[in-house]
Amino acid sequence: MDDIHQKFSEKFRSHWIKIAFYQEKPKDDAKRLRNVRFCEATNEAILYPVLLEEKSISCPGARHAFGWAPGFKNELLHGCNDKRTVQKGTLKTMLSRVPHFKKPFKYIGLNTNGAPDLLLSYMSPQEVMDLIKIHNNKQGSELNISLCTMMAICAGIAVRTYLQEKVSLSFGCDDSRRFADMRRGNVAVGIPKRLFNVFVD
């Protein structure tokens, strides 16, 4: 399953990124990034394998999503409040619904060696439609999704896909639209490993 992302790329004509969560540091010759957003790191992973840890991530939202900054700290609240004009109480409610790890992993691998926990891609609407049709035909049911407009890639795709083991979609958030490979017409898609065989042999 080490080349599963390549099989998806061949089928859906888009880049796919393997995401794996670790408690122990993997033996992998991956690039160690510093002071990056998770969504930004996914862009780097298209070129070479990346290994992230708590001190790698500069974004308060991603640190919260991965369980490395539990609770609604002022930095997270202020950062979100700067990007949207909502009352603090409403913002706290919105944040409480964002998926996050209660027990954090120590490392996150992007396109590292071995089988991933999920795959991520930034796809065109046409490609997403083709993917959803395959899912619905083979699963015998409509794809039921929840959209996340805050921490859209770290929480809405990576964490949600891992925890719920379902296909996740996201239109991105302010940061991911700016720092990740999310062109104007792209949609982010996450697929958990238990559903890989639904889409490729």
Residue in 24, 23, 26 with CA at minimum distance from that of residue 51? 26
CA distance 122 to 127: 10
Domain of residue 119, residue span = 4-199
Structure tokens at 141: 């049911």
| Res 122: pLDDT | 93
What is the number of other CB atoms lying within 10 angstroms of the CB of residue 168?
Answer: 29
Under 8 Å between Cβ of 190 and 38: no
- Domain total of the chain: 1
Q: How far is CA 54 from each of CA 59, 74, 195, rounded to the nearest angstrom?
A: 11, 18, 28
State the pLDDT at residue 85.
62
Say what the pTM is: 0.90
CA dihedral 99, 101, 106, 107 (to 10 degrees): -30
| Cβ-contact 59, 38 below 8 angstroms | yes
pLDDT at 87: 67
Residue 75 is predicted with a pLDDT of: 60
pLDDT tens across the length of the chain (201 residues): 678 999 999 998 889 999 999 999 998 889 899 999 999 999 999 899 999 999 999 988 899 899 998 665 556 655 554 455 666 666 777 777 788 999 999 999 999 999 999 999 999 999 999 999 999 999 888 887 777 778 889 999 999 999 999 999 998 887 888 887 677 788 999 999 999 999 997
Radius of gyration of the chain (CA): 16
Burial class (CB in 10 A: 0-12, 13-18, 19+), 137: exposed
Measured CA to CA, the distance from residue 180 to residue 191 in angstroms comes to 18
